[in-house]
Chains A and B, each alone.
Chain A
Amino acid sequence: MSGIPSYASTGQRVWYYTFRVICGVIFFFLIAPIVVVMPLSFNAQDFFTFTPEMLRLDPAGYSLKHYRDFFSSPDWQQALGNSVTIAPVATLLSVGFGTLAAIGLSQPHVPFRRAIMAILISPMIVPLIISAAGMYFFYSRLGLQGSYWGVVLAHAALGIPFVIITVTATLVGFDHSLTRAAANMGADPVTTFRRVQMPLILPGVISGALFAFITSFDEVVVVLFVGSASQKTLPWQMFLGLREQISPTILAVATILVVISIALLTTVELLRRRSEKLRGMSPQ
């Protein structure tokens, strides 16, 4: 699909370009909110409004005060700290348990497969507010409410369906004769898993981990119930910011996160290209 063939008719050409334009518009739709958020985070005022000064590009309309606020406020710093300590651990739990279970589920003979699958996917199906309230009561009784592990466990549960779905999907196409061959050649089950199975399902595990991480990192309903003040995460702090007093600090935080994620995604892409080159694979 790199370009149109020279024999294409006029209609095909017109459609080719129209289609590109349509896709461009949709891509713009996807990033439009981010395009709006970035300039507003430099607003000199405390509202989410493009002021006349900003539109005139007058420097007086712009300021870094919301960024200063983010870096100097202990509330935001604590929230950031909580988010980066909760999300990875929750992700690790979801991925660990989830991958094992997905491998189990992909075995040829699993009793009650459908029922088990339904249970494992349920955190995605149950409306979040119901889960949140239920966890609140139940975790209170276990003494987990308002504790770090309470939030981590709750978030891990929410992330599991994504891991299960992505990993089982990669396993559907998995050729089981490979594990048998490995066993045949004397590998123990752990080695087989590590050296044969894991590399093949790794893409599924990684994308499951990504979803699980985002689920925890962007989750506000459950943490509001299950957490207490000392587990306040970034989304929680943002939620407060929207409810009590509008403050573009939220937008500054969002901008920082977007910049970090662009950097991360680009690094991953560059690393991938490099390893492709090293492995001598020609880019398509």
Chain B
Amino acid sequence: MSDTTLDGPVLAADGTPLKRSLARALRRQKLRALMLIAPLLIFILVTFIMPVADMLFRSVENGIVEDTLPRTVVALADWDADSGELPSEAVFAAMAADLKDAAEAKTHTKVGSRLNYENPGISSLFRKTGRRAKKFDIEADGPWKEQLIDINDGWGEREVWRTIQTYSPTYTAGYYLNAVDMQVGTDGAEMRPEDERIYMLLLKRTLWMSLLITFSCILLGYPVAWILANLPMRQANLLMILVLLPFWTSLLVRTSAWKILLQQQGVINDILVWIGLVADDNRLVMINNQFGTIVAMTHILLPFMILPMYSVMQTIPPSYLRAAKSLGATDWTAFWRVYFPQTVPGIGAGSILVFILAIGYYITPALVGGTTGTFISNRIAFHISTSLNWGLAAALGAILLAVVLALYWAYDKIVGIDNVKLG
């Protein structure tokens, strides 16, 4: 039946060879699929992917030093930071000229704050020198080594020059090093001092707590999804309203409500004291710690777990369980060996959803997390709106994104993203 046994190629009805005709049909099919996807793909690329890529690019971008201090960067290239000597007069003169230009363009403080991330104190060095720099006469004044050191003795420190030299290139790994608690030391990358290490701790905590939240969502969501899937439609739909209601209540309001419930003078403690379970002077601490974050976030994310589980459980015919039992299985065996395995895709879908959403949260942890219940996103938000260290924020974000993508990839491999159902 193969082609070779025939004299010529198999022809389709219109006379073209079948193979070509099929290939064309396939191509047309592919094209049609792509045409359907294209509008959204373009939409997402423009409204979302490009903005995010643009943001993440800031984590390596470091053109500011080169742009603001062009002469210094060139002159400093040959200096050996380990020689034990300060850079030459030529470097100082280049710096003076650069500073003069920068002060006129008001860019000297920007480069100062950039370098201050790496070496505290450089910001004020640039600011103070910049105030005088507008009046520099590069040709007449000098020698600049003495002049600059005279204005601020910071210019006589080799570490300052080393920092400028290290951060001269247009691209830097500095933000990423910082994001994993490292820094560029005298012999390459090294760990930061113990009392400044924070990001790896936060990352580990974020992952661990997101895992706990996911787990408690499974624990609480499973029975609810089960009862929803097995009750008669009318009752199930009424109970469904209870699941959907929290959705309609603002996240901010729900978080505030948990504050009111959990605090020491809060509703739950009041009730416990009233019953007599807890002494009035020994009220439970349930908020501003990890417990508070876990409770509030479990509550907020629970519907995202229940809905996919419910939609999977709905498709499991109850006859399977009955069949298992009629074959002699106990309730537990029937559930564990027959029913539970079929619900795994629902659990998987819910878990990945909850976990991914949990990992990026920051408003709830900020409001109820205290010091031990805050996430890495809180630091990202801090660097974006308060410290303005956008490079570091982008690096932290990129690392977080990489973790999530790895998880997403693993999930796609194990369960398949098509099996995610939201109800």
User: Does B201 sit at the interface, judged by CB under 8 A?
Assistant: no
Question: CB-CB < 8 A to A19: which residues of B?
Answer: 223, 227
Q: Write out the residue numbers on chain A whose beta carbons fall within 8 Å of the beta carbon of B260.
A: 36, 40, 48-50
Partner of B30, one of A93, A103, A110, A266: A110
Chain A residues near B362: list those with CB within 8 A.
127-129, 221
How many angstroms from the CA of A172 to the CA of B421 in the assembled complex? 10
Contact B234 A133, beta carbon cutoff 8 Å: no
In the bound complex, residues from chain B placing their C-beta under 8 Å from that of A12 are 331
Q: A33 with B241: in contact, given A109-B26, A119-B41, A214-B247 (CB under 8 Å)?
A: no
* In contact, B224 and A26 (Cβ under 8 angstroms): yes
- Contact between chains at B241 and A242 (CB < 8 Å): no
B253 CB contact (under 8 Å) in A1, A139, A168, A251: A251
Could you tell me if A107 and B243 are in contact, using CB atoms closer than 8 angstroms? no
Q: Which secondary structure dominates where chain A touches chain B?
A: helix
Cβ A284 vs Cβ B360 within 8 A:
no
| Minimal Cβ-Cβ distance residue in B for A12 | B331
B39 contacts A by Cβ under 8 Å: yes
B55 (CB) vs chain A CBs: closest residue: A134
A264 CB to closest chain B CB, in angstroms? 9
Task: Give, as a whole number of angstroms, the nearest-CB distance from A278 to chain B.
Answer: 16
Report the tally of A-B residue pairs with Cβ distances under 8 A: 281
A127 interface neighbour in B223, B401, B420, Cβ under 8 Å:
B401
Give the segment of A59-67, A69-77, A157-165 that binds chain B. Answer: A157-165
The segment from B45-53, B63-71, B129-137, B143-151 found at the interface with A is B45-53
Interface residues on A, range: 35 or more
Given contacts A119-B44, A130-B55, A134-B54, contact A257 B250 (CB under 8 A): yes
CB distance from B396 to the nearest CB of A (A): 9
Q: B280 an interface residue at 8 Å Cβ cutoff?
A: no
**B292 interface residue per 8 A CB criterion:** no
Given A27-B239, A157-B43, A160-B40, answer yes or no on A34-B249 (Cβ-Cβ < 8 Å): yes
| Contacts A36-B260, A129-B360, A208-B422; A138 near B250 (Cβ below 8 A) | no
Q: Would you call B84 an interface residue if the criterion is a C-beta within 8 Å of the partner chain's C-beta atoms?
A: no
B261 beta carbon closer than 8 Å to chain A: yes
Q: A220 contacts the other chain (Cβ, under 8 Å)?
A: yes
Neighbour of B241 across the interface among A105, A109, A116, A265, CB < 8 A:
A265
B54 in contact with A119 (CB, 8 Å): no
The 4 A-B pairs of least Cβ separation, nearest first, read: A104-B36, A134-B55, A33-B257, A127-B360
Can you pick out 24 interface pairs between chain A and chain B where the beta carbons lie within 8 Å of each other?
A1-B230, A2-B232, A30-B224, A32-B261, A33-B249, A33-B257, A100-B37, A107-B33, A109-B29, A111-B34, A120-B44, A124-B356, A124-B357, A126-B48, A127-B401, A130-B400, A131-B48, A131-B51, A133-B390, A134-B53, A157-B44, A169-B420, A254-B253, A260-B248
